[in-house]
Amino acid sequence: MEYYSWILAFHVISVLSWMAMLFYLPRLFVYHVENSDKKDFVDVVKIQEYKIYKYIGMPAMWTTIISGIAMIYLAPELFKSGAWLHAKLTVVFLLIIYSFSLEYFRKQLEENKCKRSGKFFRAYNEIPTLFAILIVTYVVVKVVSVTFTLAMVLLFAFIIYMIMKPKRVKNAQ
């Protein structure tokens, strides 16, 4: 157990780096899509998208996973501490899927084949925030509140709806 705290510290640092990519890459996608007519700008954004995903996001995701597995290996009793760890791991699994989806969109954008809008990527950018709120709450509180989880999902569904809904055009009279 003497190494557990060191691994935990490394795990938290890895999560922070991974989340930086998860929060920022979809924002780059917004800039990319909304400035597609500016080739020089898009060329720079493509480089940023590639580097943040390949050099920051993926290494951070894998070190998060590996350090998480190491912590569970060193403290298997965590699985007996309640449903919070299972809920956290479920959301982490969804976050991993989300990470790979970002690479899918990055490749589409790199090849100029993406048909998604800036609005879509603004809404898509809300997902890691929801997942982060759920994960941190489960870990800190060590309880899975169905009410809290449902409230957060509904709140973010509303936020995404507000982002995606068509803007009303005012009639000029």
| Residue pLDDT tens, the chain, 173 long | 689 999 999 999 999 999 999 999 999 999 999 999 999 999 999 999 999 999 999 999 999 999 999 999 999 998 888 899 999 999 999 999 999 999 999 999 999 999 999 999 999 999 999 999 999 999 999 999 999 999 999 999 999 999 999 887 776 55
| Half-sphere exposure in the Cβ direction for 154 (13 Å, CA) | 6
Looking at residue 172, what is its pLDDT? 56
Residue 2's pLDDT is 80
Give how far the C-alpha of residue 122 lies from the chain's centroid of Cα atoms, to the nearest Å: 13
**Binding site members:** 11, 88
CA distance 30 to 27: 5
Locus of tokens 């929060």 = 23
What is the CB neighbour count within 10 angstroms for residue 145? Answer: 14
Beta-carbon contacts of 42 under 8 Å, excluding residues fewer than 6 positions away, are: 32, 35, 36
The Cα 121–Cα 108 span in angstroms is: 13
Give the integer Cα–Cα distance in Å for 68 and 59: 14
Name 115's Cβ contacts closer than 8 Å, sequence gap at least 6: none
Q: Which positions make up the binding site for heme?
A: 11, 88
Asked if residue 138 lies in contact with residue 61, where contact means CB atoms within 8 angstroms, the answer is: no
